[in-house]
C-alpha cells in the first residue's frame, strides 16, 4: 500500500496489521506492483519511480526521464513493465527498470491505469473517457471509443475476451470480445450512476485480479452483464 509523503505500508498477515517501510522519498506515491514476492516498484508524483529487490526492506530510486505524475504501474515479470501517468504519459522497460522508454500515445489526457495481457497486447484508460490500446508492446497506441465523458480509473481482464473498466459517477464499461471491435467493443453498463448494486451491496471501487477467472468470478461477471450492460 502506498500514499502521500512517500508512505509505503506492508503486511505479512493478510492485512490484519500493517508496518511502514522506508521509501526514501517524500513524494506522493500512487501505485505499487510486485511481479514477485521480493521484487516490486512504486510510482508517484514528479516522475517518481522506486524499486525494491528485498520485499520492501529497501527502496531505491530509478530515473524516469519525466517530471509528470505517474499513476499506475504493471509488470508481467521482473523485466517487462509499463507505467501510466499525466499528460498521456506511458513508460516501458524491458530491463527491470534500469532504463525507461517514453512511449508516445498521441493523447494529453491523464492516464490512470495501464494493463498488459501479454508482452504485446495492452490497454490504458484515463480522463474524459479515454481508452487506448496497443498490440505492439506499447510502441504505438490507438484510440478506442468509450462512449462516455466520465474519467476512467481502472481496467481489468479476468480472461482475454471479458474486460471491465470502472470510472467516476458509477461509470462501468464491459467488453465480451476483447475490446478491439470498434464502437461495439465496449458496452455501457447502465451508467453513469452514483453507485452500483450487486446482490444488494454497494460497490464504490471495482478491482479485478488480471488472471484467468475462476468459476465464481465468471458467475458474478455474468450476472452483472445481465443486470446492467446494454448495447448503445
Digitized pLDDT (tens) for each residue of the chain, 232 residues in all: 999 999 999 999 999 999 999 999 999 999 999 999 999 999 999 999 999 999 999 999 999 999 999 999 999 999 999 999 999 999 999 999 999 999 999 999 999 999 999 999 999 999 999 999 999 999 999 999 888 899 999 999 888 888 889 998 888 898 888 886 544 556 666 544 333 333 333 333 344 433 334 444 444 444 444 334 544 3
What's residue 190's pLDDT?
A: 52
Quick check: is 152 in a domain? Answer: no
Angle at 119 between CA 118 and CA 125, to 5 degrees: 70
165 and 139 in a single domain? The answer is: no
Quick check: is 154 in a domain? Answer: no
163 and 201 in a single domain? The answer is: yes
Helix (H, G, I), strand (E, B) or coil at 168: helix
Which grid coordinates are listed for 45?
A: 508524483
| HSE-CB of 128 using CA atoms within 13 angstroms | 8
CATH number at residue 14: 2.130.10.10
Point out the domain boundary residue: 85, 113, 144: 144
What's residue 162's pLDDT?
A: 86
165 and 125 in a single domain? The answer is: no
Measured distance CA(49)–CA(60) in Å, rounded: 8
120 and 200 in a single domain? The answer is: no
Quick check: is 149 in a domain? Answer: no
Range of the domain at 191: 159-232
Domain count, the chain: 2
10 and 86 in a single domain? The answer is: yes
95 and 174 in a single domain? The answer is: no
Cα 29 from chain centroid? 14
If you count DSSP H runs as helices and E runs as strands, how many of each does the chain have, helices first? 1, 20
What's residue 185's pLDDT?
A: 59
Which grid coordinates are listed for 117?
A: 495481457
Measured distance CA(202)–CA(157) in Å, rounded: 22
Instruction: Decide if 49 contacts 70 (C-beta within 8 A).
Output: yes
What's residue 232's pLDDT?
A: 39
What's residue 187's pLDDT?
A: 64
61 and 109 in a single domain? The answer is: yes
140 and 163 in a single domain? The answer is: no
104 and 174 in a single domain? The answer is: no
25 and 108 in a single domain? The answer is: yes
Beta bridge partners of 40: 52
What's residue 160's pLDDT?
A: 84
What's residue 220's pLDDT?
A: 45
Measured distance CA(32)–CA(43) in Å, rounded: 7
Alpha-carbon separation of residue 152 from 5, 120, 123 (angstroms): 25, 22, 12
119 and 16 in a single domain? The answer is: yes
What's residue 181's pLDDT?
A: 58
Amino acid at each position: 500500500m502506498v500514499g502521500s509523503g512517500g508512505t509505503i505500508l506492508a503486511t505479512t498477515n493478510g492485512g490484519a496489521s500493517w508496518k511502514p517501510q522506508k521509501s526514501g522519498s517524500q513524494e506522493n506515491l500512487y501505485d505499487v506492483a510486485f511481479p514477485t514476492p521480493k521484487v516490486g516498484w512504486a510510482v508517484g508524483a514528479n516522475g517518481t519511480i522506486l524499486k525494491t529487490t528485498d520485499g520492501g526492506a529497501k527502496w531505491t530510486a530509478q530515473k524516469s526521464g519525466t517530471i509528470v505524475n505517474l499513476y499506475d504501474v504493471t509488470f508481467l515479470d521482473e523485466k517487462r513493465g509499463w507505467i501510466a501517468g499525466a499528460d498521456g504519459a506511458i513508460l516501458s522497460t524491458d530491463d527491470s527498470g534500469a532504463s525507461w522508454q517514453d512511449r508516445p500515445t498521441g493523447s494529453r489526457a491523464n492516464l490512470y491505469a495501464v494493463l498488459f495481457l501479454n508482452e504485446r497486447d495492452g490497454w490504458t484508460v484515463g480522463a474524459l473517457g479515454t481508452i487506448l490500446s496497443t498490440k505492439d508492446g506499447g510502441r504505438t497506441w490507438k484510440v478506442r471509443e468509450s462512449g462516455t465523458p466520465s474519467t476512467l480509473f481502472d481496467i481489468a481482464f479476468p480472461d482475454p475476451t471479458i474486460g471491465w473498466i470502472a470510472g467516476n459517477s458509477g461509470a462501468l464499461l464491459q467488453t465480451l470480445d476483447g475490446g478491439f471491435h470498434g464502437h461495439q467493443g465496449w458496452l455501457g453498463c447502465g451508467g453513469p450512476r452514483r453507485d452500483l448494486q450487486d446482490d444488494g451491496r454497494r460497490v464504490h471501487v471495482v478491482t479485478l485480479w488480471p488472471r484467468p477467472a475462476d468459476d465464481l468470478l465468471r458467475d458474478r461477471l455474468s450476472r452483472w452483464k445481465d443486470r446492467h450492460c446494454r448495447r448503445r
